[in-house]
Amino acid sequence: MVNEKHSGSKKLGETIRRLRKENGLTQARLAEAIGVDESYISKIETGRLPYTPSEETLRLLAQVLKADPLELLALAQKTPDELQSVVGSPSAREFFELVRERRLESDDWEDLTQVLRHRLERRERR
């Protein structure tokens, strides 16, 4: 289990480093943007942080780095059980990204639920 956790924090760190560089940010700038110390970013990137960053920190990192928060949460093994299947599906992540960007209203949710029910009923009849 320790190896799995270490592997996850290493992947998280590598991903954050890659995203930071892609966005042209230094560790100091990224740290300032999310309100932490530069050494904290360094420890995350190198996998030397003795614990995983909080969900709030991961969401802030995703926002600043223009990344998918679910991807960072999954790498940190902080994805809620209900969303485990979403993380592995690009289409599902795109769906949730659209939901997050568009701020759906009650009518939208009702329509989406009706479409999904219809599709599931058709699948069951096959």
Q: For 20-33, how does the pLDDT look when each residue is reduced to its tens digit (9 = 90+)?
A: 999 999 999 999 99
**Tell me, what's the pLDDT at 1?**
41
Stretch 27-40: mean pLDDT: 98
pLDDT > 70: percent of the chain: 94
Number of independent structural domains in the chain: 1
Q: Which pLDDT does position 3 carry in this prediction? A: 47
Determine the structural domain holding residue 17 and report its residue range. 2-125
pLDDT value of residue 2: 42
Which pLDDT belongs to residue 8? 66
The burial class, CB within 10 Å (0-12 / 13-18 / 19+), for 96 is middle
Mean pLDDT of all residues in 75-83: 84
Q: Where are the beta strands (DSSP E) in the chain?
A: none
Rounded Cα distance, 42 and 55, in Å: 18
Q: What is the CATH number of the domain that holds 86?
A: 1.10.260.40
The residues near 97 (Cβ < 8 Å, ≥ 6 apart) are 68
pTM score of the predicted model: 0.72
The whole-angstrom separation of Cα 15 and Cα 53 is 14
